[in-house]
Structure 1
Amino acid sequence: MEALLIAAAVVWGGATGVLISRPAYRLSVPAGDPWRSQCPAGHAFVGLGAGWLGLARCSAGDRYGPSSLSVVSVTAGVCGLLAAAIGARPELVVWLLLVPVCVLLATVDASAHRLPDVLTLPLAAGACVLLGGASLLPGAGGSWTSALLGSLLLGTCFFALLFISGGLGLGDVKLALGLGAVLGWYGWPILLIGVFAGYLFGALYGIGLVMAGRAGRRSRIAFGPFLLAGALAGVLLGSSMS
């Protein structure tokens, strides 16, 4: 049964991961610019969802956007890892639904240093609503109340840091609303650990860039992917303790 669950999660991750490269390409634009409406060859996007859904390949057959293989591998791998760690608990469905959005966010932020509202706000709302449903089912491994409080607390803390240090962007604050709910589901210790892990991952990456001569001490890096990686670490740890 466990092997079947993991296999199903990997298939889900692979199927949704295939669809990430196109919206990632369309959303990876500087702040204030409109979303891309054409592929690099100048062909307009067509297909399901007003052209947002589909493979990252234009009508001429050219590929564009981030590597589909990399995106699919990450999405499928994360889904499989979550299924193996959490098992058949109600919150697993929530995590599997959120993973493609999180991978899309990380991809866009890494490319354009931007966390679009069209992703961060639905992520926060979806996490809170879906966890509320999961909390009503038997076998749930967390608390909806602490998830809601975690969202409020982390969002407030990041909003304060935005003005105190200036090292964060408003997109990070909005992302914190969703990640606070996800980490808060497993309690306050996991919330703290997940946030700390995100900062640690980001710091290690920054130090590595400086040591390699690829960045200076004042260089800005995309923080969203590391926050998301820290949240994943927190969820994996929280699931093992619940």
Structure 2
Amino acid sequence: MPVADLPVGAVVALAATVAVVVGPWLARASVRFARRDDTAVAGPLRTALTVVLVGAVVAGALLLTGLRPAAVALAWAGAAGVVLGAVDLAAHRLPDRVTVPAYAGVATALLVDAAALGTWPALLRALLAAAAAFGVAAFAAVLSPRGLGFGDVKLLGLLGLVLGWVGWGALLAGVFLGLVIGALVSLVLVGTGRAGWRTALPFGPPLLVGAVLALALQGPVGLT
């Protein structure tokens, strides 16, 4: 169903339902991955924040693509991003147990979208963008391991898959905005004395925020 034909009430209801069902589980997962403790429990504030973020992710995916398989891809990537961002902020890690299934889920949903709606060029572009983002990031990580970890490399590949499906412009905008946000946050932390020039800072959240901003600037996707 195209975005224009999707009632706002239906978007809100579906997003809220998914968020209430999935959000608490993702909140627990983020705490357990961060602490490496399978018995850890998420507090009420973290749970509520995760539910809100997941609801926003699902609503955003529907408003960008309409009701189609690609919406599942964007929502899956966004939900994974919520967990990855929380873990990276808490423990400076981006666990493969979140990233790898997200690759599989997003790629499968985009493949179904292509088969159902004929968006094969977009799927090919997404795969090429993921490979390009992963390859460039891996090269940068080899040159400067302190600046970019391989968790960040895998995250950039995932973001390349999603942003590349939308378009090359979205990919470039997302990476650029992520780098700018990361640099600004680093400068603020150093300037306020909360970090030093050699302090390792989590780079995943700025990359995720940059991708979200790029998608928001893109607006509804008109691929068929």
Normalised by the shorter chain, which TM-score bucket?
0.7 to 0.9
Separation of aligned partners in 2, 1:67 and 1:142: 39
Task: Specify which of 167, 176, 180 is matched with residue 200 of structure 1.
Answer: 180
Separation of aligned partners in 2, 1:142 and 1:68: 39
Q: Deviations over 1:119-158 (max 9, x none)?
A: 1122222222221111222385970000000111000000
Distance of aligned partners of 1:140 and 1:13 in 2 relative to their CA distance in 1, 3 Å threshold:
farther
Distance of aligned partners of 1:14 and 1:207 in 2 relative to their CA distance in 1, 3 Å threshold:
farther
| Structure 2: 5+ residue stretches without partners | 1-5
Separation of aligned partners in 2, 1:224 and 1:146: 23
- The 8 Å contact of residues 163 and 215 in structure 2, kept in 1 or not, is answered as yes
Distance of aligned partners of 1:82 and 1:142 in 2 relative to their CA distance in 1, 3 Å threshold:
farther
One-letter code of the match for 1:11? T
Q: SS of the residue aligned with 1:219?
A: coil
Q: What is the aligned-residue RMSD (CA, Å)?
A: 2.3
Q: Which has the higher helix share?
A: 2
Aligned length: 215
Q: In the TM superposition, what is the alpha-carbon distance from 1:202 to its structure 2 partner?
A: 1.3
Q: 1:80 aligns to what?
A: 59
Separation of aligned partners in 2, 1:87 and 1:126: 18
- The 8 Å contact of residues 63 and 220 in structure 2, kept in 1 or not, is answered as no
Q: 2:207 matched to 1:230?
A: no
Identity of aligned residues (%): 33
Task: Specify which of 131, 136, 141 is matched with residue 152 of structure 1.
Answer: 131
Q: Deviations over 1:179-205 (max 9, x none)?
A: 111011012111111111111121222
Distance of aligned partners of 1:140 and 1:90 in 2 relative to their CA distance in 1, 3 Å threshold:
farther
The structure that has the greater radius of gyration is 1
Q: Deviations over 1:84-117 (max 9, x none)?
A: 3433343112222332222111111111000111
Separation of aligned partners in 2, 1:226 and 1:91: 24
- TM-score by length of structure 2 reads 0.85
| Structure 1: 5+ residue stretches without partners | 30-34, 40-55, 58-62
Q: Deviations over 1:151-186 (max 9, x none)?
A: 110000000000122210011111122111101101
Distance of aligned partners of 1:37 and 1:240 in 2 relative to their CA distance in 1, 3 Å threshold:
closer
Q: Deviations over 1:46-68 (max 9, x none)?
A: xxxxxxxxxx36xxxxx48x721
Distance of aligned partners of 1:142 and 1:14 in 2 relative to their CA distance in 1, 3 Å threshold:
farther
